[in-house]
Amino acid sequence: MPPHTSSAAGSPGEGEEQSGPPVRQALSDSVYESIKAMVMDHEIAPGARVGIDALSRALKVSPTPVREALARLESDGLVVKRALSGYRATELLTRQGLQELFEMRLLLEPRAAALAAGNATEEQLDGLERILEEMQVQPSPNGRYASYRDFAGLDQRFHEAIGQAAHRPLLADAVQRLHAHLHIFRLGDVVGAGGPTVAEHERIVRAVLRRNPERAAEAMAEHLTRSMERQLQEDGGDEPATP
């Protein structure tokens, strides 16, 4: 039985074809979140084929919103489409892949934080503080995607907001396209979700608010380095970094 299916993802019948854009978008978003949860929780195993017809039956929707959801998940890097074989869930990051992801982040995000300290508007500074405040009140996750979805979303928003505040569109786009939060949170235990991550984000925000580029870059580099270390401590070898 698929989790996270809401009434919006019920049988569309004629209503799906005749409903207006808001209803159709709600259905599309619901199907996307349901399939995303299956991938994140490994109910669709890494590397497994993702069947459109099977998902349509399981979620009681037509194939159209399933195709739309899979296209979005492909953009997220959670599924891949192969010629003649359809969609498959992407494999988990290996230890080397995890290290390479953080290497990319360490090249991009400290620079973004430094630029944000110098270029962020007052509205963007307020936005960073609001994201941080929301993260501070998130409940502790229990390992299922449903329990850490909001925290993961806020983590994504935080790092992308830093990129946007740098006022370097190519840099912001590169940060967003890494989809680092999805790849890391998909590995298993939500390592550092809560205390350490929020405390490290606080230090970044303080440096940006004080318009201190050097300290902002240092705080971001420190956060990413510690995050990588926490993840690697959970991984004992060269296999995918599962707990």
User: CB within 8 A of 120, min separation 6: which ones?
Assistant: 128, 165, 166, 167, 208
Contact 162, 128 (CB under 8 A): yes
Return the pLDDT at 6. Answer: 40
> pLDDT tens per residue, the chain (243 residues)?
444 444 333 444 444 444 567 788 889 999 999 999 999 999 999 999 999 999 999 999 999 999 999 999 999 999 999 988 899 999 999 999 999 999 999 999 999 999 999 999 999 999 999 999 999 998 766 678 888 888 889 999 999 999 999 999 999 999 999 988 888 888 866 555 568 899 999 999 999 999 999 999 999 999 999 999 988 886 554 444 333
Nearest-angstrom CA–CA distance, 23 and 8? 8
Contact 54, 88 (CB under 8 A): no
Return the pLDDT at 44. Answer: 96
Return the pLDDT at 207. Answer: 98
Helices 195-209, 145-165: inter-axial angle, 10-degree rounding: 20
- Predicted TM-score of the model (pTM): 0.81
User: What separation in angstroms does the CA of 191 have from each of 60, 74, 156, 160?
Assistant: 34, 25, 15, 20
Return the pLDDT at 234. Answer: 67
Nearest-angstrom CA–CA distance, 206 and 212? 9
Torsional sign, CA 109, 115, 117, 119: negative
User: CB within 8 A of 208, min separation 6: which ones?
Assistant: 113, 116, 117, 120, 125, 128, 162, 165, 216
